[in-house]
Structure 1
């Protein structure tokens, strides 16, 4: 692992001293490709030095969604968890209070949302410092990252945390780049694009793919603005996750109203004070909104639906997903479904649907079996 860290440092140093201009784009692109490859090697479990999860990190995923709390020590993650769930994560005014992953359940709008309080991470976490590798790897399993920040401290805290997550393969509030790579047996590497990409060309694509021992492939680019970083992400797709992030600034009671207003206007940002119990409900509401979950109700034939007990499913779920949520073998007995609600063509009247029908929030569904 030491050798890999040394190589990463050498590449970072070379990138830092290389001026960014048109003439150096190709060289920097190759360096980025090598850097991503070494970082991936550093994070693989079988790399020198191990990198197992460690005690306390194997938290089983449960509930309708998982939210991971990420942040530096003593920013208020434990206090937030204690306020929104029945779990009491140890909180104190000194660093590294939480040394393991502490899960709790937030019950909201009929959903059970698992909140995982991860240990505070430090600069260099993606390289294994402060058990950071295990912490950030656990964050990869989340449906939403709640980055808890200290409103009294520098804006650099957010930038450093983003860099740590970026280095370990977590892309915050980004969509998967519109690039497809199809390996083939012969013919070399061919770049195809609807509109010529602005920031990559066939020479660069060839060199980066060959560095990953890919010598024959068709590369399709559908977005002219894709970058070298986007291409590298697609090459390493198995190790990259795209996760929505909500930046949550705590301790707003300790800064001016003007500063609170400035922070609150930033994109994907909410503010709170755990100590004064300010804004906690707003944060919970924003978590629900960002998870984009759907509440739907099942109805037996000839009976009224039970609106007190919704079934919670993911956005864009189909009747097949609903069947799987009830029981893994349920769809084998499926005949058709009757759906009331905004996804029905007939408004208040039921629509007869198959397994591919997409349900909407607060739909009522009757499953008819064979």
Structure 2
């Protein structure tokens, strides 16, 4: 039995096995083995080469439009950025990623239209694996359907999930420290629904037989596997329903934004939500001995002094000596900090270099 046949067999066994406390351990081992085999199959596929989609990230953040062909992604891109992505009433008008730049509240936001995604993409249909690989680099995903294809929201989310993309989730709070001997020592700071033997069984499936495991959430089987693999990406998302002008009375899914890219309806709402979801902060630069610059540098929340250095000049990190900060991220104004210091919105920063 080859690897793809084994994957199919495992998927079928998991589907047919009812989940309960008695089967939890068995299902955990099956899911762990399935994820491992999928990873091996992907490595084999990459060895065969072939053209890859690539997104060259520019601006302060990158937003990717994801949806089936012909739902209006190119029209949205053109309306938001003034780009000239080809628009057509037939499938697969967009054959490679097409970028545009949206400028809003001082931020330069790159919007990218990628080729249409569809059911089966995570298994390779319609070059889906290459498209999913490109999407993984996004800072925000905008899922696009139209008023006639609302059911595709769940399909798209499932394909993104199978491609290792976790929407609107935080990384699992699990720390695994491997050791050479001593067996597995599992500790948790919260009550766990999974029993210890199930957790250990999943770890052993990945040849982790010795180590310390600290779990800080009521972990599920899937999130434990994600923590072990360490190759998932966690990206916020927005859902958009396009062509609202063609069916104004359609029932819009909860939290989705109804728009008409053709008519310009609610595009201002979409832009504001994109800006909010990207969670920008403003950092004001102050040259040594100089005045605070009026225009702030736009960064994502969680940015450190190192990120500012990289934006200023490629040699700034290597030549960095120390920095001083005035604002919410320090205990007192003018505090001296290192390159790993995390900044907050409104901070004033002075960098001293060699």
TM-score of the two chains, using structure 1 as the length reference: 0.86
Which residues in structure 2 correspond to 1:122-161 (within 5 Å)?
Answer: 122-155=118-151, 157-161=152-156
Worse-matched range after superposition: 121-130 or 325-334: 325-334
Which residues in structure 2 correspond to 1:330-341 (within 5 Å)?
Answer: 330=316, 332=319, 334=321, 336-337=323-324, 339=326
**1:250: Cα distance to partner?**
1.1
Q: Compute the RMSD of aligned alpha carbons.
A: 2.4
- 1:234 partnered with 2:227: yes
Report if aligned partners of 1:293, 1:313 keep a CA contact under 8 Å in 2: yes
The structure-2 alpha-carbon separation of the partners of 1:222 and 1:296, relative to structure 1 and needing over 3 Å to count, comes to closer
**1:60: Cα distance to partner?**
1.8
C-alpha distance in 2 between matches for 1:338 and 1:194: 35
**1:51: Cα distance to partner?**
6.2
Name which of 180, 184, 187 aligns with 1:189: 184
Deviations 1:14-48 (A, max 9, x none): 1222222222222221211122112212222xx05
Name 2:51's counterpart in structure 1: 54
The structure-2 alpha-carbon separation of the partners of 1:179 and 1:19, relative to structure 1 and needing over 3 Å to count, comes to same
Name 1:203's counterpart in structure 2: 197
Which residues in structure 2 correspond to 1:262-273 (within 5 Å)?
Answer: 263=253, 266-267=254-255, 269-273=256-260
The structure-2 alpha-carbon separation of the partners of 1:123 and 1:335, relative to structure 1 and needing over 3 Å to count, comes to closer
Name 1:312's counterpart in structure 2: 298
Name 1:68's counterpart in structure 2: 64
Which residues in structure 2 correspond to 1:1-370 (within 5 Å)?
Answer: 3-44=2-43, 47-48=44-45, 50=47, 52=49, 54=51, 57-155=53-151, 157-198=152-193, 200-223=194-217, 225-237=218-230, 239-257=231-249, 259-260=251-252, 263=253, 266-267=254-255, 269-300=256-287, 304-307=291-294, 309-330=295-316, 332=319, 334=321, 336-337=323-324, 339=326, 343=329, 351-355=334-338, 357-367=341-351
C-alpha distance in 2 between matches for 1:256 and 1:22: 47
Report if aligned partners of 1:51, 1:134 keep a CA contact under 8 Å in 2: no
The structure-2 alpha-carbon separation of the partners of 1:369 and 1:129, relative to structure 1 and needing over 3 Å to count, comes to closer
The structure-2 alpha-carbon separation of the partners of 1:362 and 1:220, relative to structure 1 and needing over 3 Å to count, comes to closer
Q: State the 4+ residue runs in structure 1 displaced beyond 6 angstroms.
A: none
SS for the counterpart of 2:251 is helix
TM-score of the two chains, using structure 2 as the length reference: 0.90
**1:49: Cα distance to partner?**
7.2
The structure-2 alpha-carbon separation of the partners of 1:53 and 1:334, relative to structure 1 and needing over 3 Å to count, comes to farther
**1:66: Cα distance to partner?**
1.2
Which runs of 5 or more structure 1 residues have no equivalent in the other structure? none
C-alpha distance in 2 between matches for 1:362 and 1:293: 11
Which runs of 5 or more structure 2 residues have no equivalent in the other structure? none
SS for the counterpart of 2:2 is helix
SS for the counterpart of 1:70 is strand
C-alpha distance in 2 between matches for 1:186 and 1:240: 28
Deviations 1:240-277 (A, max 9, x none): 111111111112223344624xx3xx24x322111211
**1:289: Cα distance to partner?**
1.0
SS for the counterpart of 2:41 is helix
C-alpha distance in 1 between matches for 2:56 and 2:46: 25
SS for the counterpart of 1:322 is helix
Worse-matched range after superposition: 127-136 or 239-248: 239-248
**1:90: Cα distance to partner?**
0.9
Report if aligned partners of 2:325, 2:347 keep a CA contact under 8 Å in 1: no
C-alpha distance in 2 between matches for 1:84 and 1:51: 38
